Amino acid sequence: MTDFTIQAVTTPADRELFLDVPVRVYKNDPNWVPPLRSSVAKQFNSDNPFFEYGQLQQFIALEEGQPLGRIVAAINQRLIEREGKRIGLFGFFECVEDFKIAKALLETACQWLRDRGMVVARGPIDLSTHNNCLFLVDGFESAPMMMMPYNPPYYPEYMVRDGWQKAKDAYGYDFDVAKPLDPKFEKGYRIALRSGITFRPIRTKGEGFQQDCRSLYHLFTTSFAPNWSSTPRTEEEFLEEAQDLQQLVDPDIFPVAEDNGKMIGFWMGLPDYNIALKHVNGKLNWLGILKFLWYRRQIDQARVPAMSSLPEYRRKMVPLALIYLGMQGGSKKGKPYRRAELSWILEDNIASRKLIEASGGKIYKTYRIYEKGL
């Protein structure tokens, strides 16, 4: 029997051990892409806007001073206010293959939430669904694309053994970029143009970038606010996240739609930088940056984290037009993309799923969020 202890993270040394856990969990997994340590650590800094409306506690499992697992219990007041239920969250979960340790971590997080009056635990959600969330439950054969979760197959098995129930599934769709789209997508593009809609690539520099980010924020807030378990972000939070992606955008796969200068839709395509990040071992020091710049030349796939159109423009075929332009941009001469992933799409988002499947997308990964009564 493994002799271990669970303790709260309270010191700088504890925080380093917390960040070390994934290296031990995934040391023999060829598909794992190490997250940037600085990006994970940043979420626990006191200046994270999350602390204006939430609280959290990190925990680690240790054996003779070596980290075996970790978890974060969190309370997001915005989520409680939106759903009218005292829902607590767990996230940042990682654990070696030992059910006793996993169970102890989950129970420690649940007890922390009980002590603060929560009645339901939900996860994995790293503070908010705008961050990393979901466990992969099917599709372990390939590496994750950028900003998508990945975990060992035993995680979902442990959740079931510990009495957690499925709350919601989500899907990742795979696209063959070289496969021609159904002609109706180009037809939709022509109809949108005749309706007075204009299209252009996202701007990536200067004031143009800032203006486009503000427009994207308002579209995100309008289009995705009703999503399950979603909580609103401030414009400041959104712009900070956008700033991190500014240098990574390929405008050819990020078209936006406008009506008289107002942004009314977008298709957010991003090169899959996980292909390069896999080689930097979670650290963008000078050596990591050199490796990143070298291996980014191997990027041959893209991820589409989101697409959106205001509801009143759907009859003008704006969604079809954006898919057409995004796929055209990715397949034009000189572009390296062989395939693309559109992820993640909630299982009950039937309208989006029908559109994605009509454009040739095939489900190839399934993800899950769990719940448990406290």
Q: Does the residue 347 lie in any domain?
A: no
Mean pLDDT of all residues belonging to the chain: 94
Confidence grade of residue 223 (pLDDT, cut at 50, 70, 90): confident
Question: Residues near 177 by Cβ (< 8 Å), separated by ≥ 6?
Answer: 302, 327, 330, 331, 337, 338, 339, 340
The answer on pLDDT for 241 being more than 60 is: yes
The pLDDT, as a whole number, for residue 297 is 92
Number of domains in the chain: 2
Q: Does the residue 182 lie in any domain?
A: yes
The answer on pLDDT for 270 being more than 90 is: yes
Span of 109-113, 135-139, 216-220 with lowest mean pLDDT: 216-220
Does residue 30 have a cis peptide bond before it, meaning omega lies within 30 degrees of 0? no
What domain range includes position 281?
Answer: 178-337
Residues 107-133 have a mean pLDDT of: 96
162 and 187 in a single domain? The answer is no
190 and 292 in a single domain? The answer is yes
The pLDDT, as a whole number, for residue 25 is 97
* Cα 219 from Cα 209, distance rounded (Å): 15
- pTM value is 0.94
Residues 11-23 have a mean pLDDT of: 96
215 and 308 in a single domain? The answer is yes
CA 218 to chain centre: 19
290 and 311 in a single domain? The answer is yes
24 and 120 in a single domain? The answer is yes
Residues 260-282 have a mean pLDDT of: 94
Confidence grade of residue 93 (pLDDT, cut at 50, 70, 90): very high
Confidence grade of residue 342 (pLDDT, cut at 50, 70, 90): very high
The pLDDT, as a whole number, for residue 221 is 85
Q: Does the residue 199 lie in any domain?
A: yes
The answer on pLDDT for 134 being more than 70 is: yes
128 and 275 in a single domain? The answer is no
Span of 7-21, 147-161, 279-293 with lowest mean pLDDT: 279-293
Q: Does the residue 288 lie in any domain?
A: yes
159 and 226 in a single domain? The answer is no
Tell me if 90 sits within 8 A of 109, measured CB to CB: yes
Residues 33-49 have a mean pLDDT of: 93
48 and 107 in a single domain? The answer is yes
CA angle 231, 306, 127 (to 5 degrees): 30
Residues 332-347 have a mean pLDDT of: 93
Q: Which CATH number does the domain housing residue 294 bear?
A: 3.40.630.30
Q: Does the residue 139 lie in any domain?
A: yes
Q: Does the residue 31 lie in any domain?
A: yes
Q: Does the residue 366 lie in any domain?
A: no
The answer on pLDDT for 2 being more than 80 is: no
